[in-house]
């Protein structure tokens, strides 16, 4: 894992954008797996600004939604769908044919996971996976547990995840999560994990200790051959 520390969130986001653009220039139909939440937001805004300068660069880009809150309407402002539409899909003019994403309110969550898994097998592997570090060390919605799931699955949400700003503001609380599994994430050719915020200091310390445990799912990233970790210095002890 390559770890880079930045003085500001803006510098971190600029570096992430540069890494993504560099890879898109090499492969225009790149499959980008996109996390949601505060950490990648500025990076996505910078990509939107790049689209205004050179829209042709993004005409073949494909997007995969990393995870989703389950049991709430797709048009709820707190869904990962709503977030991605506002911050990434619409700014980059990503068409439906170039987007794979969990339905937040499926008739059958297990069938929904199977459908996303099949699409990932067909369209993948992921070229770049954008991740954040959960407050409890989760990766996507792979929660700390005795064991972890390899593929797309319905996840039982921890109390800490339910306190996430996206979930805490919902009028209807998520009943479960829908997420890529650890093997799905680890098949990515490149992983970029973005970490910012003083509130994550305790978990960042655990993550950087290199002690690999299912109680800190993000710690498994130390086993992947191509991970770039971008950290704002305020998140460090």
pLDDT digits (tens, 9 = 90+) for 77-105: 999 999 999 999 999 999 999 999 999 99
pTM: 0.96
pLDDT of residue 185: 98
The domain limits of the chain are: 2-235
Q: What is the rounded distance in angstroms from the CA atom of residue 10 to the CA atom of residue 18?
A: 12
Give the model's pLDDT for residue 170.
72
The residue annotated as part of the active site, out of 67, 76, 127, 184, is 67
pLDDT score, position 167:
67
* Per-residue model confidence (pLDDT) at position 173: 85
CATH topology of domain 2-235: Rossmann fold (3.40.50)
Distances (CA, A) of 36 to 33, 65, 134, 136, 210: 10, 9, 11, 16, 25
Instruction: Look up residue 4 and give its DSSP letter.
Output: E
Burial 206-220 (b: 16+ CB within 10 A, else e): bbbeeeeebebbbbb
Q: Which of 136, 142, 184, 232 is catalytic?
A: 136
Given the residues 143, 164, 196, 232, select the one marked as catalytic. Answer: 143
pLDDT value of residue 126: 98
What pLDDT score was predicted for residue 168? 66
Please, which residues have CB within 8 angstroms of residue 214's CB and are 6 or more apart in sequence?
144, 145, 146, 147, 148
Give yes or no: 159 in active site. Answer: no
Identified catalytic residue from 68, 81, 87, 138: 138
- Residues in the chain predicted with pLDDT less than 50, given as ranges, are none
Active site includes 10?
no
């Amino acid at each position: 894992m390559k770890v880079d520390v930045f003085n500001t969130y803006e510098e971190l986001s600029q570096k992430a954008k540069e890494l993504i653009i560099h890879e898109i220039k090499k492969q225009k139909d790149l499959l980008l797996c996109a996390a949601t939440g505060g950490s990648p937001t500025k990076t996505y805004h910078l990509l939107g600004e790049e689209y205004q300068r050179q829209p042709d660069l993004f005409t073949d880009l494909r997007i995969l939604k990393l995870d989703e809150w389950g049991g709430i309407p797709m048009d709820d402002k707190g869904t990962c769908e709503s977030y991605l539409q506002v911050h990434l899909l619409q700014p980059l003019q990503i068409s439906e044919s170039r987007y794979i994403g969990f339905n937040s309110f499926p008739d059958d969550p297990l069938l929904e996971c199977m459908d996303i898994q099949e699409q990932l097998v067909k369209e993948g592997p992921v070229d770049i996976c954008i991740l954040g570090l959960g407050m409890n060390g989760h990766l996507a919605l792979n929660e700390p547990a005795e064991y972890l799931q390899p593929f797309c699955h319905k996840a039982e949400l921890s109390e800490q995840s339910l306190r996430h700003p996206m979930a805490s503001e919902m009028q209807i609380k998520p009943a479960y999560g829908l997420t890529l599994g650890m093997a799905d994430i680890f098949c990515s050719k490149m992983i970029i994990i973005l970490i910012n915020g003083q509130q994550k200091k305790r978990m960042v310390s655990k993550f950087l200790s290199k002690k690999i445990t299912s109680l800190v799912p993000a710690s498994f990233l130390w086993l992947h051959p191509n991970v770039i970790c971008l950290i704002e210095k305020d998140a460090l002890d």
